[in-house]
Structures are given as structure tokens and as C-alpha cells.
Amino acid sequence: MIDLIPDAILRLDADRRIVLANPAVERLTGHRPADLLGAVCAEVLAPRGRDGHPVLDGTWHRSASMRSVRLLPEQEITVTRVDGTDLRTYVTGCYERDDDGRLTGVVLVLRAAGERQHQASSGIEIVSTVSHELRSPLTSVKGYTSLLLNRWERLNDDQKKMMLEQVNHDADRVTRLITELLDISRLETGRLVLRRQLVDLGDLASTIIDKVKMEYADLDVELSMPAAFPRVYADPDKLEQVITNLVENACKYASPQGMRVVGEVDGDEVAMAVSDQGEGIPDSDLPKVFTKFFRRDMGKPTGTGLGLFISRGLVEAHGGRLVATSVLGQGTTFRFTLPLLDLDEALQS
Ligand code: ATP
Ligand code: MG
């Protein structure tokens, strides 16, 4: 029966040697089941967790020592195929124990973390996060408008103004969230359309800084662009979104003071770096800030956690890169590059 199961199944003994593998394991990893029998799992498949650290290599997961635990929680594990390539999988399974509760082995079920499955799970994740994010501004819009309608006569102008400002602000939040979601779906399905034109990055940055100043009156940015900075062939709206997010993030999570926006020309590409003088981001969080919905726990309200994910997508859609470096206690720099296209070539393509 186990041969008919479409998912790859591996059974390991107490020493983490493979004692059973079904044909689906070969489809997934290229290893023939017969060759796997008796082999130490960590040696042939080199399983690694999300953080890149080896798993099943000499010790069991913490939960294995708890006698009452039978099921392994689903984990994302990367294994090495027979041809040396890596494969991302989702692994579930159950522990096998003797009558005294001692571990005798484990049965693992591996599934390729293919794009479709990945998108399906991120779809559910998006719906639940977004429903929550949309509800709070809408609740406030509904609350204030009802109040205004029911008590119009009894409210003074200042109160009315405050409520309308709040409604206006929350409506912006909803609009922005929806725009972000549309961007994500376009980026993920490759349907993002860039309306490219010649853009002066220095002018764009200075316009953005003026706009952000309306919200952060104490914003103090030093913008420095080298003389004769070449124009880039890019979508100005998308670049505005990227730079705005970087500058706003620096204001919100670092400090509006002592910020620097610096343009650089480097061979066949240009770069723009936004540096702040905030607390910095610890190494362990740094790569995560680019993932969907990631927000650091920093004891103050944050946004939706989509800005940097989208910004990186938008920069990459232009053929550039967006990276972050940070020194704790000194600040963080987000730097993106854009290729300098040969304009004649670009216009022809
Ligand atoms: P959104 O941009 O969608 O409104 P957000 O600002 O929370 O929401 P991102 O822009 O993706 O989302 O940023 C993700 C997280 O990274 C932030 O919540 C914050 O914790 C952290 N972060 C971003 N920029 C900085 C910075 N300059 N200094 C310190 N932490 C930062
Ligand atoms: Mg942001």
C-alpha cells in the first residue's frame, strides 16, 4: 500500500537510519529506495531547516523527547537530491514509540514545496491577515460616519474636523493596502507592467522627501547626488513607491533625523541608498524584513509588513537589487540598484 501513496514516505529507526522508502521518494529526490535502505538519513539527504541548520543529524527535534508527542508539526526542510541539487519540501510525520514511550523511530511524509502549494498557503495567509487589516480602518470609518450622522447638531466644528480627518486617514489606509495587494498579485504572477520613461532619481527623491515632510515635520534628510547623475529608464511611479517606503520606514522605525539619501554611479548601474541613524536591525531579522507580512516586534505600532517585500519585487522587476545592511546602535541602510540601460537598445526591445 505504501507504494501507492503519492507522497514520499521515509521511515527512520532510532538511529535515524532509513529502514523504508517508497517509490515516491525516488520521484522526489532521485534516490532509489533500495540504495537508501540502511543509510543514515542526514548523510544521504542532508536535511536542513528553514534557517539552513542541519536537522536529524545526531539529535531529534525537541518534541521527540516528550512522550506524549506523536505528530511532528509540519516543517519546511530542504534536502539534497541525488544529482546534488536542493529541494525544498514540507515534512510532516509521526514518531514511533515502544510501550514505555521511548522513541523507536519516525515516519516522515515529504511533499515538494512547489510553487502552487506555496501560493496556496500564502493565499490563505494573505486573506486572514488582510481581513484583519481591512477591518480596523473600516470599523473606524463606520464608527465616525455614524457618529457624525447621528450627532451632527451636537458636535462642534473641531470634533467634526477630527472625525473627518480620521475617516480620511483610514480611507487612505484601505486604499493603500488594496494597492499593495494588487501589486503583490501582479508581481507573483508576472503581470506587473512597467511604464518606463527617463527618470531623474535626484528630482524624484527630492519630491518624495517634500511629501514625507508633510507627515513628519521634523524630517531632516541630506540628499546627495553626484553631479551629472545619469537618468534611468524606469517606471517613476514604482520607484516613487520604493523610495517612499524606504524613507517612511526610516522615519517610523528609526528616526526622521540624520537621514541620508545618497546616489551612486557604479559602472553600468546606479544605486540609491537610504541610511538612517536608528537602533539598527539585528542580523537575525535583517533578511526577514523583506518577507511578506514580517514586522519586527519593536514595542510600537508598525505597518502591514508588505512595503519591503513589494519594494524588492519592484526593484527586481527593473532588473535591480534591494539589500539592507545594519549596524546595531548606529543605523540601517537600504540600498537599491538599477541597471543603466543602453537607451537605443531599450527602446528597440
Ligand atoms: P508597510 O510598509 O506595508 O506599511 P511595514 O512598514 O511594517 O508595513 P515593511 O516596510 O516591509 O513593512 O518593513 C518591515 C519591518 O521591517 C517593519 O515593520 C520594521 O519592523 C522593520 N524595518 C523596516 N525599516 C526599518 C528601519 N529603517 N529601521 C528599523 N526597522 C525597520
Ligand atoms: Mg514600510
pLDDT at 338: 96
Q: What is the mean pLDDT of the chain?
A: 87
The Å distance, Cα 164 to ligand 2 centre, comes to 25
pLDDT at 76 (0 to 100): 84
Burial 242-264, CB ≥16 within 10 A → b, else e: bbbbbbbbbbbbbbbeebbbbbe
Q: What is the pLDDT of residue 116?
A: 39
What pLDDT, on the 0 to 100 scale, is given for residue 118?
39
* Residue 80: CB atoms within 10 Å: 17
Residue closest via CA to ligand 1's atom 30 equals 253
Greatest distance between any 2 Cα atoms in the chain:
83
pLDDT, residue 119, reads 42
Pocket test for ligand 1, best of 245, 248, 308, 334 (most atoms within 8 A of CB): 308
Counting Cβ atoms within 10 Å, is residue 215 exposed (0-12), middle (13-18) or buried (19+)? exposed
Query: What's the pLDDT score for residue 295?
Result: 87
* Residue ranges of domains in the chain, CATH in brackets: 2-116 (3.30.450.20), 118-189 (1.10.287.130), 197-348 (3.30.565.10)
- Whole-prediction pTM: 0.62
What one-character DSSP code corresponds to residue 257?
S
CA–CA dist 244, 197 (Å, integer): 19
Q: Closest residue (by CA) to atom 12 of ligand 1?
A: 305
Low-confidence ranges of the chain (pLDDT < 50): 115-121
Cα separation of 47 and 102, whole Å? 24
Using CB distances shorter than 6 Å, the residues near ligand 1 are 245, 249-250, 253-254, 276, 278, 281, 289, 294-296, 298, 302-309, 332
Q: According to the model, what pLDDT value does residue 334 have?
A: 98
Mutation pick for ligand 1 pocket among 302, 315, 333, 336 (CB with most ligand atoms within 8 Å)? 302
**Contact yes or no for 265/229 (Cβ under 8 A):** yes
Please name every residue paired with 265 in a beta bridge, in sequence order, or none if there are none.
270
* pLDDT score for 17: 96
Using alpha carbons, list the distances in angstroms from residue 1 to 5, 34, 38, 112, 222: 7, 17, 21, 21, 68
Tell me how far apart the alpha carbons of residues 59 and 49 are, in angstroms, rounded to a whole number: 14
With CA atoms as reference, report the closest residue to 346 among 218, 232, 188: 232
Position 112 scores a pLDDT of 81
